[in-house]
Chains A and B, each alone.
Chain A
């Protein structure tokens, strides 16, 4: 187990290098010049070519991109993450404030969607074909097809503006306020994000459960005279868990990177938002750092899925 984890982490290193190199190359290929985002077009037009060249030099934007990539890499290894080109703020500060907020939201909605999704999926599989199952299926379809931003806006309208139960958006600083005071801020965004993901988990859990319940060993379990709940949960649900775990595990990185919409709607100060602006401004230092986080997280999630799968399914061996 330990040996496997170490091996897996070591194998991540070349993958991280390759992926970040590709991202750097893609940034290079995008049209436009980061300098043009630094000042308004009028002042930019007044600058001479020599002055612009000087600025590019100062921001480290000159030279072949391969060289610049390795420069970035070496500085990274020395613990120097650089400064945001557009704001001048150290990249590390942006990450320090944004990442916890994003992770908080991701974990909350992951918990909501996992618990709700698997319970509803299993229930609708057990009561397959009944009205309850059909209602859940319709809700699942709606959940998958309604865009998050719309769902979010409706939620704000109802729960924040009309009922005034919860704040419209924002997040308070953890160092300033207590846990329970902050709780009300995360309820809406995490529910909106969690519920829209619940639909997917539910459909997956349902089909996995149905598949399992058709297996011969379920008949064996019944032939032993076991109570239905034991047959359903201990023999059915336990086995159908594996594919659901895989799905949830691979959702983790998507959650971190893909919460741009929710973060915008709820003015949540996370890194999803920062990432989308940074890409548009060709803000190399910030984009590369965030990309690195996403890559590490994705690889980490896949390792985690492997380990958890091996833990819950004895047929899976980690050594291979």
Chain B
């Protein structure tokens, strides 16, 4: 759309300041001896959409607030566009924050809400109202400019909050759970709007969420967090297909985690044996774990094939036996949960055609098998204490 409409004034430089965010060894502690986040190292490229993903209390909002300047790191360095911002007030960082539940001023009209950032920057009344109206036209809310926030729907409030944060033309927009206050239908719609807005503006978006599909759908860079630390920061497809830790594999859903002892390597394939005596193979990858050590591997749920199993025969390689615990219809596939005797349930997402060919019901004894190519080794063994998935999204 019209770029010029966004500009707060004509003096805005044509080349926008870089919105690259760098966190170096950032630690934040609210009380001595306990850390909200610890030793965070993260680079968010300029103009990217980054999602900080993790369960409540994992420190993702703390990171966002430190970038915004609403918290000061206990130690470490934060730079935006190459310039250190630690100790600077938010207004001098070129960032704007959109708060959870939007925090619109209940006593001000929509127009004055949007104009507020300009008012605090000393822009005259007529000028800031003119710019605020242009901004409201952009988010298609100009007809509601005289209303107060209480008279708006959730989606409209969200757009007002967006307009308010964007009016100063920030190089970084920080969004704290921006979609969590919306119902499912609106959430999907606003998700799309956020993504296209970011693409259009080309500025850096940092978005905090605890919902996996949201992060996967939006982000160029997904940062999965667990209790104050980053487990993996990578593009969504990498996070989803090649999680590095059992925590990420479980948290993102879509993966089964198996743990066993490494037996050895034959060619490209690494062999592993579980405590139950099942063996499986997988591509060894760049730095395979040494033989004799305990390691974990992840298997994609949708690559698992189920077969009914009648005889108590030997279990072949690359398979686990189990009893169907539950089946759940998901439209294009059926989620089948197996009890294999392991701590975590084993889940197979069977395509609807495959399921129709050989349906299984709860109580059936089955054999779940897969190809070695669909397995990959995790960098950390699953010791059972890795974070339990907060939301088990069965995709």
Q: Is the A/B pair a real complex?
A: no
